[in-house]
Amino acid sequence: MSDKFDVLVIGSGPAGYVAAIRAAQLGLKTACVEKWVDESGKTKLGGTCLNVGCIPSKALLDSSYKFHEASSELGVHGIAVKGTSLDVPAMIGRKDKIVDQLTGGITGLFKANGVTSIQGSGKLQAGLKVEVTAADGTVSTLEAGNVILAAGSLPVEIPPAPIDNEYIVDSTGALEFQEVPTRLGVIGAGVIGLELGSVWNRCGSDVVVLEALDEFLPMMDMAIAKESAKIFAKQGLDIRMGARVTGAKVKKGKVEVTYSNPDGDNTEVFDKLIVAVGRRPQSENLFTADSGVSMDERGFIFVNDYCETEAPHTYAVGDIVRGPMLAHKGSEEGVMVAERIAGKKAVMNYDTIPSVIYTHPEIAAVGKTEQELKADGIDYKSGSFPFVASGRALAANDSEGMVKMLADAQTDRILGCHVVGPSAADLVQQVVIAMEFGSSAEDIGLTVFAHPTLSETVHEAALAVNGHAIHIPNRKRRK
C-alpha cells in the first residue's frame, strides 16, 4: 500500500491524537498510526494517559477516596456508616469501563474529524516515508508531507527490582491489583509513586514508600513540599527518604526488599512492590539513522521551541521530547505543531504549564518556586494563606494545606503559585490564566471572588503578597 497524507502522526496519546484532530480540523489530510491493540486485536487509541496513566489512576484515586471518606471521614458530619467494605474487582471494573468509554471516544472523534486511524508500529525513514508494521506482520509504506512523532514514554525499570507483573509491578500493574495488598512497598516518592501509594493506602494497605533522594518533592516549592510531607505522614503513608533500593526478591509469595540508608542496610517484606522510578521516552525503532532525526543519550528527540526536529517537515511532541512529562503539555505541543504546519504562527508558553499531584489533598503548582527565584537572583515577594482560615474549607472538613503566591518585588507580576490543599489543581488553574494574561498580584486582589469558595484562598494569598490579606494577620503590613 502506498498512500500520501499531508500529516502523519505516529502515536495516539494526548500529544498525537490532539495533533491529528487539530490538523484535520485545519483541512489537512491526516492519519494517525498506533501500535497498541486490545485482546481482540482492535486498535486502542489514547496512549498511556487514557489507557494506563492519567485517567485510570484518577478513577482509582476517586474510588479509594470515597471508600476512605465513607469509612473514616463522615463521622464528623454526624453520619454513621456501618460495615463499609470494598469490592476491589468492582473498583477495577469501573476504572476499565471509564477507560473504554474514553478510548472509544477518540475513535469517534477521529471519525468525526476525518482522521484516518492506522493500526501498526510506525518507523520514520528518509524522505518522509513511514514504514508501518501491523499487528499481523503486514508491512506497508506511507508517504507524508509532514510527520509528527508522538510515541510517548514507558516506565523505567531498575536492575535491583525487575518487574515480574505478579509481585513486582510497574504503574500499569498497580492499576490492576485484584485485592488490597496487606503490606505494599513503593519505590519512588515522585508523582506516580505518591498517587498509587495513596490509592492502596486508602484501601487499607500498610504502605511504605522508599525514596533514594534526601529531599521530598524537590521540584515543588519547599514550603509546600514540607507541608505535604506532614499531611502524608498523618495519613499513615510511611515515606522513607534517603532510602536507595538495592534488591528485591520474591520468596514464598512475598517480596523481600533491601535498601540502604545512612543507618546501613535494611530489609522489608511486602505482599506487592510497585516500581515508580520515572519514565523514559519510547524512541527505539521509531526512526532510521538516515531519517535526519536525532536524540540525546536518554532517548529524548532533539527539538527546538516549535517542536521541529532536525529533519525537515518532521516534528516531535509530548513525552518523547524535553520538558515535563504531562498530558496537557503534549496536547498543547500537538496543537502548536498542527497549526504551524497549516501556516499559522502558534507558539507555546512553557512558563505557564501547571503540574499536579492528585493525592488528597492535591498538590499543584505553576511558575517558579521560591528556591528557583532565589537561585535566579530575582527579587520577589510572597504571600500565603492557609485553608484553615477558609470558611468553605472548614465547612467541608477539608482544611489542610495552604496557597502560596510569588510575585516580582518591583512589578508585582505573578511569578508562581503553589498549593497543597483541597481542589489545588483547579485553584492553580485560575492563576495559570492570570499569568497567561500577565497579571499582577494586585489584579487578583482587585478581582471579586464568590463567597464562600475555596477560590477565596487564591484571592487572599494574592492580597497577602502586598500585606493586604483580610482573614489572616499580615506578616508585613503595607499601605
Residues taking part in catalysis? 451
Pairwise CA distance, residues 430 & 457, whole Å: 11
Residue 213 interacting partner from ligand FAD, ligand AMP, none (CB closer than 5 to 8 Å by kind): ligand AMP
- Residue with smaller CB distance to ligand AMP, 120 or 185: 185
Q: Is residue 193 involved in binding ligand FAD (CB under 6 A)?
A: no
Q: 448 exposed, middle or buried (CB, 10 Å; 0-12, 13-18, 19+)?
A: exposed
How remote is the C-alpha of 426 from its chain's centroid?
A: 15
Cell of residue 477, nine digits: 503590613
Residue 318 interacting partner from ligand AMP, ligand FAD, none (CB closer than 5 to 8 Å by kind): ligand FAD
Q: 127 exposed, middle or buried (CB, 10 Å; 0-12, 13-18, 19+)?
A: exposed
- Residue with smaller CB distance to ligand FAD, 121 or 314: 121
Which of 459, 453, 457 lies closest to 439, judged by CA? 459
Q: Which of 199, 325, 403, 435 binds ligand FAD (CB under 6 A)?
A: 325
- Residue with smaller CB distance to ligand FAD, 190 or 416: 190
Residue 363 interacting partner from ligand AMP, ligand FAD, none (CB closer than 5 to 8 Å by kind): none
Q: Is residue 367 involved in binding ligand FAD (CB under 6 A)?
A: no
Which of 446, 380, 387 lies closest to 414, judged by CA? 380
* Residues that bind ligand AMP in the complex, under the rule CB under 6 A: 158, 160, 187-192, 210-213, 244-245, 276-278
Residue 286 interacting partner from ligand FAD, ligand AMP, none (CB closer than 5 to 8 Å by kind): ligand FAD
Helices 14-25 and 327-341 pack at an angle, to 10 degrees, of 30
CB of 123 vs ligand AMP, minimal distance in Å = 28
Contact string (CB under 6 A) for ligand FAD, positions 137-166, x = contact:
-------------xxxx-------------
| CB-based contact 122:86 (threshold 8 Å) | no
Pairwise CA distance, residues 107 & 225, whole Å: 40
Contact string (CB under 6 A) for ligand FAD, positions 28-67, x = contact:
-----xxxx----------xxx---xx--x----------
Q: Which of 21, 68, 122, 404 binds ligand FAD (CB under 6 A)?
A: 122
Residues in the chain: 479
Which of 357, 356, 361 lies closest to 232, judged by CA? 361
Q: Is residue 23 involved in binding ligand FAD (CB under 6 A)?
A: no
Q: What is the DSSP string of 133-185?
A: E-TTS-EEEEEEEEEEE---EEE---TTS---SSSEE-TTGGG--SS--SEEE
Q: Which of 31, 326, 393, 444 binds ligand FAD (CB under 6 A)?
A: 326
With contacts defined by CB under 6 A, how many residues of the chain interact with ligand FAD? 36
Residue 42 interacting partner from ligand AMP, ligand FAD, none (CB closer than 5 to 8 Å by kind): none
CB of 243 vs ligand AMP, minimal distance in Å = 6
What 3-state class would DSSP assign to 229?
helix
Pairwise CA distance, residues 427 & 434, whole Å: 11
- Residues in touch with ligand FAD (CB under 6 A): 10-16, 33-36, 47-49, 53-54, 57, 121-122, 150-153, 171, 192, 282, 286, 318-320, 325-328, 330, 358
